[in-house]
Amino acid sequence: MCGILAVLGIAENPQGKRTRVVELSRRLRHRGPDWSGLYCHQNCYLAHERLAIIDPTSGDQPLFNEDKTIAVTVNGEIYNHKELRERLKSHVFRTGSDCEVIAHLYEEYGEDFVDLLDGMFSFVLLDTRDNSFIAARDAIGITPLYMGWGLDGSTWFASEMKALSDDCERFTPFLPGHIYSSKKGGLRRWYNPPWYTEDIIPSGPYDPLVLRKAFEKAVVKRLMTDVPFGVLLSGGLDSSLVASVASRYLENSQAAQWGTQLHSFCIGLEGSPDLKAAREVADYLHTRHHEFHFSVQEGIDALEEVIYHLETYDVTTIRASTPMFLMSRKIRSLGVKMVLSGEGSDEIFGGYLYFHKAPNKVEFHQETCRKIKALHLYDCLRANKATCAWGVEARVPFLDKEFINVAMGIDPQWKMIKPGRIEKWILRNAFDDEQAPYLPKHILYRQKEQFSDGVGYSWIDGLKEYANQQVTDAMLTNANFVYPENTPTTKEGYYYRTIFERFFPKNAARSTVPGGPSVACSTAKAVEWDAAWSKNLDPSGRAALGVHIASYDDNDDDAKTQSGEVPGITKNSS
């Protein structure tokens, strides 16, 4: 992962702007500590802070076409770059970088090439022949991108808000799956899968082997790297499946550049649920496991840094990001620059606790669509910025375009949580292989534990206690006067907001964070499905523990469910 900054259409003294652009780009250097690049053409600048994952020796950016009339600065990975090069045989490539294809694709196809890219990316491309430019962001928003406007009429793009917040009067997150064109004006959506229109309910069959193979393909393509890598392993279903598939591939690969033993990483408080579960999965998969510990105080001490890097005051995101932030520093100290992570599964398959209450498949599907579309504001933001704070790149196979198309094309009736089926049953069942097990049964059917809970229950309790010491009752009572927009409703939320405002005081900055209190299991839809959810004012998964109990107490086939033997359903054993 890298950091990009583009300043386009500077009105006055563009050459004098160079020092400022270098200074602002430096704010992104944590994302790309390996090299810095800067390109200037007339009144436009493209800057790049590189984290070298592919072709470390010759892939410095910005990148160009043959005659350097087209320049591009990219943050991301293009997994199908070798296939795309085959389509561009008439073009001359100067580097082995996966991102160089973007310049040549534009030269070949014009602006309508973005859908050909398979990967995670944000980029800005400058066509010096007419001084036009385009910017685009990947389908789901795995990589961050912000867009801003200066008083002189200039247009700005940056991987993080901190690089443009001081110099732009207005700025906003760049929408995932969109492209901006200076020629055509405004944003337009380039990503238009069938599921994006929420009213079209899919009716495709559920084939466990098709789903399994699509996920395996998504994991394997993300092992494209020229540097050491590993996998984040919490011991839950999603990260365990990622680790299992990656480990199998490495064992059977003849070109395992960094060895055939997968490195896995986990963090938690002493005795936390995640540490125990991850250790068990690591032992089963024979990974080279690295277990890190942190204390509540160490997490609290890191909060200001975490909020500065995350650029949000969302409570759930900060809780979960702090352990990931601390772990990423440890991972980088081991020389690892890329990790696989399990984000996205809960959104695609309805894995959150309130999905137990979905009344029908139509509403279930529509809520999964809304969840996927909001990922760039929550889990994608966390996974990207918490790791990039220390120059580590996180890749997320569950958010592979092809895999999402397969998973979201299945009739949502199969995803519904019913008596006899645990949440995300269709994913678990797809990997329930009797002949060559991917995971032990009790891991494969382990129930969901939120990351912020799994690292140790006292982590959240410690945060609340600390916030209660920092924020008085009177401060919270008057919160609506101090913060009339997105008013915090808890002392913890108030405390995070004060830190955020110190770093990012502009109205535009606070507007980049989703509105309202962040309560993961008490969304409007959850309350609509079951009014009892409105009583839960805390985002912690513990608050909804009763859902698990209620869901299975009435089910006589509980033991069969946990082993994957669901009445009336033929278990996949291929």
Please provide residue 6's backbone torsions phi and psi, each rounded to the nearest 5 degrees: -130, 130
Q: Which two tokens stand for residue 159?
A: 């991987």
Which neighbouring-strand residues pair with 134?
125, 181
Residues 517-551, buried b or exposed e (16+ Cβ, 10 A)?
bbbbbbbebbbebeeebeebebbbbebbeebbeeb
Residues 310-327, buried b or exposed e (16+ Cβ, 10 A)?
bbbbbbbbbbbbbbbbbb
Q: Could you give the CA distance from residue 210 to residue 427 in angstroms, rounded to a whole number?
A: 11
Beta-strand ranges (E) seen in 52-211 are 63-64, 70-78, 119-127, 132-137, 146-149, 155-158, 170-173, 178-181, 187-189
Q: Is the separation of the CB atoms in 518 and 539 below 8 Å?
A: yes
Q: Could you give the CA distance from residue 118 to residue 400 in angstroms, rounded to a whole number?
A: 8
Greatest alpha-carbon pair distance for the chain in Å reads 76
Looking up tokens 């020796």 gives 57
Distance of CA 548 to the CA centre of its chain: 27
Of 331, 313, 328, nearest in space to 378 by CA: 313
Of 210, 216, 225, 290, nearest in space to 257 by CA: 225
List all residues 6 or more positions away from 82 whose beta carbon is below 8 Å from its beta carbon: none
Residues 459-498, buried b or exposed e (16+ Cβ, 10 A)?
bbebbbebbeeebeeeebeebeeebeebbbbbbbbbbbbb
Of 119, 440, 422, nearest in space to 279 by CA: 440
Q: HSE (CB half, 13 Å, CA atoms) of 359?
A: 8
Active site residues: 2
Q: Is the separation of the CB atoms in 264 and 243 below 8 Å?
A: yes
Of 384, 368, 8, 433, nearest in space to 181 by CA: 8
Pairing, β 263-268 against β 288-293: parallel
Q: Is the separation of the CB atoms in 17 and 45 below 8 Å?
A: yes
Q: In what order do the strands lie in the sheet with 155-158?
A: 35-41, 44-50, 3-8, 155-158, 146-149, 170-173
Of 141, 67, 136, 44, nearest in space to 99 by CA: 136
Q: Kindly report each contact of residues 412-416 with a partner whose C-beta sits within 8 Å and lies 24 or more positions away, as own/partner.
A: 412/201, 412/202, 412/350, 412/361, 412/362, 412/364, 412/365, 412/368, 413/361, 414/206, 415/349, 415/350, 415/361, 415/364, 415/365, 415/368, 416/350, 416/358, 416/361, 416/364
